[in-house]
Each structure stands twice: as C-alpha cells, then as structure tokens.
Structure 1
Amino acid sequence: MKKCVVTIDGPAGAGKSSVAKLLARRLAYRLLDTGAIYRAVALTAKLRGVPWTDGAACATIARDLDIRFDFVADKNHVYLAGSDVTSDIRTPDISQGASQVSAHPQVRAALLDLQRRLGAGGGVVVEGRDTGTVVFPQADAKFFLTATEGERARRRVSELAASGTVVDYEVTLREIQERDQRDAGRDVAPMVPALDAVLVDSSAQTLEEVVDSLAAQVQARAAGHVPGRPPSHGNDR
C-alpha cells in the first residue's frame, strides 16, 4: 500500500495538532508539525534578543535551525539543539511571535527546504497553514480543518489551562481573530485552503469522529481506490 503525504491546514485552535497526532498514530505515519518550526524560530529569536519584526535576522535563525521531532509517551516532542522545548513554544507569547516571523518571505523561504526534507519519502502527516498549497502542493491527501471562532477560543483556553496557564477567553478570542487576519492576509503563502483540499468543520464533531473520517479517506487513497481527490464524507466544498 502506498505511503501517502497527508497535509492538514487550518487556523489556530481548529484542532490540527490533536487530529494530526492521532491520525499519524492511526496510520503508523510520521508527524511533521510545521507550525512548531515557526514557533521554534520565534523562541530562538526571543532568547537571542532578535525582534520578531526583523525578517533578515529571523531568516538567519531559520536557516541554521537545529530541530527534530520525537514521540515520547504519546506526545510529539520538539527539540532545539538537543533541548526539549515542547512546552516553551506553546505559550501565548510565542504563538504571536510565530505568526509574526512566519509573515516574513525570507523566513518562509529559508524553512521551505527544511520542511520538504523532513517530509520526504511519504508516510507522513504534515500539519500547518500552507502545507497543502506551498510546502507539499502534490500531496496525496489534503485537508483544511476549521471550527467557529468561539469554539477555537474555548479549546485554546482549555488547552492552556491543562498545561497550567490561565488565560482570559475574550483576550484569546481577540488574539485568534487578529492571527487569522495576519495569516490569511499576508502576501506570501497566505492561509487559504488548497483547491483540492477537503474542508472539515470540526465544531460539532468529536476528535475521534474527525480522525475516523480522515483515516478512511487516506486509506482509500493509499489503496488506489480514489482516482481523484479524496471523498468528502459530507465535509467537502
């Protein structure tokens, strides 16, 4: 059976990380979190005192980034130069920084080859915001995962609370709206669904329901049963 490249794009709080992790486990695929790579650049810039608005300096950091991923106790851990930064890159501050550094064309160009090398060979689930349009435009199966703004804010608040960080719902909602505008409005690689992506609204679906649907579509694709784009299972445009 073919080992596919699967892309999952969408806005913050749509459930991409949870879906991608479980889908990768279900399919016995590798997991590539491209958003974590931009977060790693933002974290490194902050630690070095480099402003997130300095595109040239952030691009230099991106070109020299020493990053790897590894599943530990069923969690996808991120390592920078050998140090585990999984929690450090998930703070609200670094989330905003990642959105800012990702808007620089030179940063995106510097990371494009790295992302493609990490996903080479197939058998990988790639999560991000432009993975189906820019990073892997020839991916075997593409999904664009979304949810209502209110639901995404609620999930983000719950996620941070579980890790010991308390944030205000209204502030989180406003940050999500601002990030959506930045990500969708940037000139280079804006966050938009690929033309051949399956749209999945997870607002009223459980995590398991979403993963079941996506896994069935990828498996059909891998078996060669789908000559065109993956079936929509009711979520296609």
Structure 2
Amino acid sequence: MTKYEFMRWATFPIMPTHLLTVRNDIKRLLKSQQNTSKLSVLDVGGRKSPYTINLPADITLLDVPQESGTKEDLNLGFTDNILSSIQKKRSNITELVIQDMTKSTLEDESYDAVVCVEVIEHVVEDDVFVKNIAKVIRKNGWAYFTTPNGDYIKNEGPDKNPDHVRHYTKQELQSVLEKYFDKVEVRYAVSTGKYRVWGLKSFKKSNPLTLFKSVAGNIINRFQSKGVENRPIKTAHLVAVGYK
C-alpha cells in the first residue's frame, strides 16, 4: 500500500456518501466473483478514480486524451502529468489506456468486470459506449455504472454541468443497459438535502468550521441514504449493475 493509498483508505469513512457507496458496491461485486486469481477490471474514465484504489484486482485505467476547451477547463482526460502521477500513487494499476471507449480497439471478453463511475452522462454516443463495454466483459462478468442526477435533481439551470451531454432517469438508464446485458439492476443511491450539500464542500484545514460541517454532513447523509434504493423523490445519483 502506497502512502497515497493509505491516506485514501484512512479517510474513506468521512467521504461523501456516493464515494463510499460506490466503493463498497465494487468490493461486494469483486468478492462475489472472486476465484483463486485476481480479477481484471477495466476502470473507464478512471484517470483519478478513488473508487478502485487498493482493491484486490488488477486495474486497467482507460480515459480519453485531454483536449483543449471544456475537457481541459474541467481537468478531464489523461495528460502526461496525470499518467506519471497515477503510476507513482497506485499499486494495483497494471495498464493505462488512452482511448475513447466509443472507438474501442480492446479485445472482446478481455476483462472480468468494468467500472464506469460518473462517465456515461459525458458520452454523446451512449449506445455505442455501452455496447463496447459489454463486449470486453467475459461471460458471467459485470459492469458497474453511476450517473449523478436521476429523477429528482436535473442538470438544468445556471449551475448545470456544461460537460454533461445527457441527463438520465432511472428508466432511461435501465433501457440503454438492457440492450447489451442479460440482467440489469438500477437504484437510487443518495438522499438529498442540506447535509448532502455540507458533505460536498471541500475539506479545508484552514477553516475548521467548514471541515467539521463537511465531515458531519457526510456521516449524517450516509444514515439518511439507507433504504432510498427505490425512492425517486429527494434522491441523487443512479447506480446500475449490468450482468452478462
């Protein structure tokens, strides 16, 4: 475990509900599929993903090259500096791939699983994107997707994310995944409200009050988010698993 991985591991319990939910889900899925050897997992869009850090799997990170414009402004995609940084910080990374998944050249059935967290809403050709993800998964494998909005919070108004090309409802996400996976499960993940907002504030050691509110908000929101899987009202983040 590297120093970076240890610090991430130590702070997971006070991180936002979404991060902890995703990480625990992936750990559970890996455990259910685990055999005598490590599983190979493709992390799509995972250039700085905290979700697969130090998990017992061989991780391949895939992301598009960073281009000027919105991707550069929002620090999306791979750059030489990001690649170098990842290789120093992460111990379970076996390969780094700079590629657009909608134009994938990866071999069919080359991974046991795929993780795709907060990515699909950025993709114009989402049908091709999902199809190519399904193709690289071996039989009895799975793909894990999340998207941040859902049926209640819309990507609208002056504060909307400019890099989101699509907003998914639960049914819309279910429909696009069902084209390429034998079984699909989609659920709501996080309760909304002031405590979720508190938890999304950046941690700042220089501001103890903000730090306290962030930690307290995340802990309270975690309890608020229990049992919201089928609640379309006052929830954020959709989580989906597609099984082959």
Name the TM-score, length of structure 2 as normaliser. 0.32
Point out the structure with the larger strand share.
Answer: 2
Point out the structure with the larger helix share.
Answer: 1
Q: Higher relative contact order by CA 8 Å / sep ≥ 6: 1 or 2?
A: 1
